Structure 1
Amino acid sequence: MIIFILLLSVIGFAFTFVLAKKSWQTGVGVVCGGIFILSLLLVTANFVSHFGMKKVVETQSIELVSSADGLDVLLYQPLGDGSEKVYLYQTPDTKELKPTDTDYVTNTVTEGTPPELVTEKSYWEYENDFYKLFFGIVNNNHEFIEAENTFNIPETWEVLSVDQMKEFGELAKERQASFKEAAQKEIQAKMMEAIQKDPSLATDKEKQQTMIDQWTVELQNQMMQDLLNEVK
C-alpha cells in the first residue's frame, strides 16, 4: 500500500502544485507533497529500523548422532585463521553430514545429554495485519536476522576438526598390528597375575573369557584416548 500512496502523492503533487493555476490546487499540492515526504520517511524507517515490525524467535531441537563411525565425535571445519568454524553434524535420519551456515550464525558447544542441536533463529515480522498490508509490498516479512546453534553433547564425546579426525584414522590403522600384539602380551600378563591370586581361574574358561573381554575394551579405550591426545 505504501508504494501506491507514494505514487499517488507524486502524481497529485505534479498535477495540483506544479501545474497549479488556482490557490486550492496549490494547497492540495502541498498536502500531496507532505504525504509523499511522510510516506518516504515511513518507508525509510521500515527499511532501516524495521518500523512496524517485531523480533520473533523460532526454536528447533534436533537429535544428534556421531559425525564419524567408531567414535563419538562432533566434527568441524575451521575457516580462515581458525576463529570461525563450520560444524559438521549428523542426525539419525540422514546419512550425510550437514554443515552449519556461516552468515549471521553463532555456534556454541556445551556439555549436555542427550546429544542434540538446539537452533534459535530470529526473524523480523510485522506487528499486525495493518503494518503487513501497509508495507507488505516491500516483501520483507519474516526477514532473517541471525541464528544461534547450541550443540549439547555428552562429556564422553570429542570435538575434532576434519584434519584431526583424518589423522586419528590414519594413526589407528597404522598402529593396529602393534596394538594387537601389545594388548595380547598385557592381557596374558594380567591373566597370569589373576591366576596366581586365584588358582581356580585356571580351569574356569568362561570367567577367563569375561575378564579378557573386559581388559580388551579397556585397552582399546586407552589406545583411542592416547591417539586423541596425540592429534588434538
Structure 2
Amino acid sequence: MIIIVLAVFAVLTYISWFYIKSAPTRLVMGLISFALLGATVLLLTANIKSHYGMKNVTTTTEKTIYSAGGSESPAGMLITQELGTKSGNYVMIYADREDGKAKPHFVPNKKNMAEAINKEATYKTADVDKATVKTVTTRREWKNDFFKWLLDFGGEGHSLVKQTSTVTVPKNTWVVLSAKQAKQVTAKQKAAGQDKTAVAAQQKQMRDAIQAKVAAYMKDNPKASANDVANYSHEATAEMTAEAMKQMLK
C-alpha cells in the first residue's frame, strides 16, 4: 500500500506545483503534498533500513527426542555431523517418536539460504533423565494492523530473525557419536557378534555387574518400591551399555 501512497503523493506534489495557478494555493498545497511525500519516503526508508513498524517475537518449544539406535538398545544414541569446521552448528540424527525411525534434523535448506543462515543447532550432555530438543525462534512481526496494511508490500511479516535449537542428552545413559564413529561402533558390534562364546561371556559379565549394582541400591534404599528398583536397574543397564559403546571408540 505504501507504494500506492507514495505514487499518489508524488502526483499531488507535481500537480500542486505545476498546475495550480493561484500562487497562495499552489504554495500551500505544494508544501503540504511535498511534506507528505517526504514523510512517506522517510517511513519507507525506516522500514527497509531498521524494520520500523515491526517487533521481534520470540517463542520457545521443547520436546522429548529418542535414540537414533532404536528402542532395542538400553543406551541412547545421538549421531552428529558438524557443518563446516569449528562452526558449532550440527546436523543431528535422532527419532521424534519412541517407535519412530531416526532421521536427520537441522539440514540446511539450500533453496532458502537466506533463512538457513539464521538457523543454528548444537548439542550438550547434562545430568538429565531424558533427551530433549529446545528451540528458541525469533520472528519479525507487525506491531499492529495499520503498519501491516501500510508497509507489508514484500511479505516481511513472520520473517525469521534467528532460530537456535539445542539438543540435550543424558550424559550417563546416552552416547554422542559422529557419523564416522557410529559406523565404527556398528562394525565392531557386528564383528563381536560373530563370536557367540565371547558375546555370552560379555552378557553374563554385564548381568552380574548390574545385579551387583541393584543389590547395593536396595541395601542403601531398603524402602525402595519395586518400581524404584526396576527404574534403577534400567538406568544401570543403560549406563553400562553406553560405557561399553564408548570403549569401542578407544
TM-score by structure 1 length? 0.74
Contact 2:58–2:139 (CA under 8 A) maintained in structure 1 = yes
User: How far, CA to CA, are the matches of 1:126 and 1:37 in structure 2?
Assistant: 23
Q: In structure 2, which of residues 198, 201, 217 is the aligned counterpart of residue 184 of structure 1? A: 201
Asked if the contact 1:121/1:147 (under 8 Å) is kept, the reply is yes
Question: Aligned partners of 1:67 and 1:48: how far apart in 2?
Answer: 44
Deviation per CA, 1:168-220, whole angstroms, max 9, x where unpaired? 101211232347437539959xx9xxxxxxxxxxxxxxxxxxxxxx9xx97x9
**1:221: Cα distance to partner?**
7.5
Counterpart-to-counterpart distance in 2, 1:186 and 1:86? 34
Q: CA RMSD in A?
A: 3.3
What do the CA deviations read for 1:13-44 (whole angstroms, capped 9, x no partner)? 22222455442224423322222221111112
Query: Is residue 2:11 matched to residue 1:11?
Result: yes
What residue ranges of structure 2 are gaps of 5+ in the alignment?
109-115, 209-232
Greater relative contact order (Cα < 8 A, sep 6+): 2
Q: CA deviation at 1:78?
A: 1.9
Structure 1 residue 127 and structure 2 residue 143: aligned?
yes
Cα deviation digits, residues 76-116 of structure 1 (max 9, x gap): 12222253321223211743514115421232424233322
Please state if 1:109 is matched with 2:114. Answer: no
Q: Which has the larger radius of gyration?
A: 1
**Among 134, 142, 146, which residue is 1:118 paired with?**
134
What is the distance in 2 between the residues matched to 1:89 and 1:47?
40
Q: Does the 8 Å contact 1:88/1:100 carry over to 2?
A: no
1:162 to 179, 189, 192: 179
Whole-Å Cα distance in 2 between the matches of residues 185 and 229 of structure 1? Answer: 14
Residues 192 and 198 in structure 2, CA contact (< 8 A), matched pair in contact too? no
Q: For residues 137-172 of structure 1, give each alpha carbon's deviation from its aligned partner in whole angstroms, at most 9, with x where no partner exists.
A: 342111111111121222211111112111110121
User: Could you say if the C-alpha distance between residues 176 and 186 of structure 1 is closer, same or farther in structure 2, counting changes exceeding 3 Å?
Assistant: closer
Amino acid in structure 2 at the alignment position of 1:63: T
Residue 231 of structure 1 pairs with residue 235 of structure 2: no
Question: Structure 1: how far apart are the matches of 2:248 and 2:194?
Answer: 18
Number of aligned residues: 206
